[in-house]
A = this chain, B = another copy of it.
């Protein structure tokens, strides 16, 4: 359900999705900003689509048709936040993109994900809490998981299940764990801990 905007290929162009009309893009961004503000004020279960619509200044029908439910809102907000990372991963010639050595791509991706998670703890927590089991079908999660699996096939010794290892690395970004680490030592501490752990997993 929901998150029709967050299909496997999301292209943000000047804040608009490809093919999206300017007024639709404005509404989408207003709804996502309203979601974010409500998330900062209260827990993920404690606000309604009505409140999101009122705050964004759009009709409830607009929110409902476009996002479906809170789960769809959190998926779309996560996809928006992850857009820059998705672009970097897909761009040849960059440190994270196709053609770079797999080890560097993987460690660089985890660095970026540490920053993203550390700066969006409430969103990561809400996404897990509300999407729960559906998380494994969420387009952003699926994209991250596929990317990591592809790199881990090249990097891990035979006999290790790369799909499970990819889930295991993404589990480092559990919202509660991220909050626990960031509260103790900031986003830097999270980035260092994740990198050290991944380097141990990848050592030749």
The range of chain A's interface size is: 20 to 34
Cβ contact of A200, chosen from B129, B165, B192, cutoff 8 A: B165
Q: Which residue of B lies closest to A190 (CB)?
A: B164
Q: Are B203 and A161 in contact (CB under 8 A)?
A: no
Within 8 A of B (CB), among A128-170: 128-129, 132-133, 135-136, 156-157, 159-161, 164-165, 167-168
Residue ID in chain B nearest A152 by CB atoms: B200
* Residues of chain A from 94 to 140 with CB closer than 8 A to chain B in the complex: 125, 128-129, 132-133, 135-136
What secondary structure prevails in chain A residues at the interface with B?
helix
Flag if B160 contacts A168 (CB, 8 Å).
no
Q: Assess A168 versus B165: contact at CB under 8 Å? Given A133-B180, A160-B196.
A: no
Complex Cα distance, B18 from A3, in Å, reads 53
Interface residues of A (CB under 8 A from B): 45, 125, 128-129, 132-133, 135-136, 156-157, 159-161, 164-165, 167-168, 171-172, 174, 176-177, 179-181, 192-194, 196-197, 199-201, 203
